[in-house]
Amino acid sequence: MSLRVIFMGTPDFAVPTLTEIIGQGHEVVSCYTRAPAQAGRGLELKPSPVHRAAERFGIPVFTPSTLKTPEVAEQIASHQADVAVVVAYGMILPQAILDIPELGCLNLHASLLPRWRGAAPIQRAVMAGDAESGVCVMKMEAGLDTGPVGMVERLEIGPDMTSGELHDRLAPLGADLMVRALAALGRGGLQFTPQPEEGVTYAAKIANAEAKLNWARPARQVHDLVRGLAPFPGAFAEIDLGKGPERLKVLRTALAGGAAEPGMLLDDEGTVACAEGAVKLLQVQRAGGRPVSGAEFLRGARLSAGQKL
């Protein structure tokens, strides 16, 4: 059964779901996304990835700054949609909006709810060293990601997988899950199960201070922080090469053996001692520079084994 769909989303993660919904024959009657933001050297207004995708499909795009006005509610109601699909929209839907579509509002969330409710579930899962993640289709309610879950797909997180790599695996997985959920919804066969009260965690936005590496933590935690923040915003170490402190962005690491005072270089390849074990710097980047291997960075910075980073 073809459904009339309002799509609400903003980043790249949401685009595969929009594309798949259209590909399965549903009618996307409107698209709501965040307003264009300033980007680039000229600070030109740049439409969101969902905005650009919707325009390619000829879908009307709306970018309200708030959803809490009667005018926006009337506009959304005028689309006469069966269902709203929300994927990383970035705005909270008030109850007045949730009540409009006859079949409700479905949200695609990139975690295994109730774990990692909130804004940064992919990064938080990797930062915490979780062994698996996944995607859920949830019926939205007023609480933050508290609604009952209709469908779930799970995905293993490899020990060296970055949040960027997990993102790229979950996006198409979520798109497929959402179109299966819409097919079941159209048949009247989508059943929802309340989330358990145990196991709730929150995926808050990443604060700048969290990205700073601390070699006095166990190597596994350092490694998980690096891969959890790769490629964005990126973990960093604060170093002093004689001209004052500077940030060294650490893009990729590997767990390594060895023991010494935390922060000590164990070899000339970029292996750094941590509180427990060590990590090898596989790829780093100085401000204004290009990404290089740990060994190449040490040569350029004239650092060697036995010195502290």
d(CA 199, CA 101): 31
Strand pairing category for 4-9 and 27-32 = parallel
d(CA 86, CA 42): 31
Our CA angle for 6, 8, 11, nearest 5°, is 145
Nearest to 222, CA basis, from 277, 298, 172: 277
Contact indicator for 112, 132 with CB cutoff of 8 Å: yes
Please tell me whether 293 is known to bind a ligand.
no
Non-local CB neighbours of 293 within 8 Å, separated by 6+ positions: 270, 281, 282, 283, 284
Sign of CA dihedral 40, 124, 13, 2: negative
Q: Phi/psi at 35 (nearest 5 deg)?
A: -65, 150
Our CA angle for 6, 7, 10, nearest 5°, is 150
Please tell me whether 103 is known to bind a ligand.
no
Q: Which two tokens stand for residue 139?
A: 């019926």
Contact indicator for 89, 175 with CB cutoff of 8 Å: no
d(CA 67, CA 165): 32
Please tell me whether 43 is known to bind a ligand.
no
Please tell me whether 48 is known to bind a ligand.
no
| Residue numbers belonging to the annotated binding site | 111-114
| Residue numbers belonging to the annotated binding site for (6S)-5,6,7,8-tetrahydrofolate | 111-114
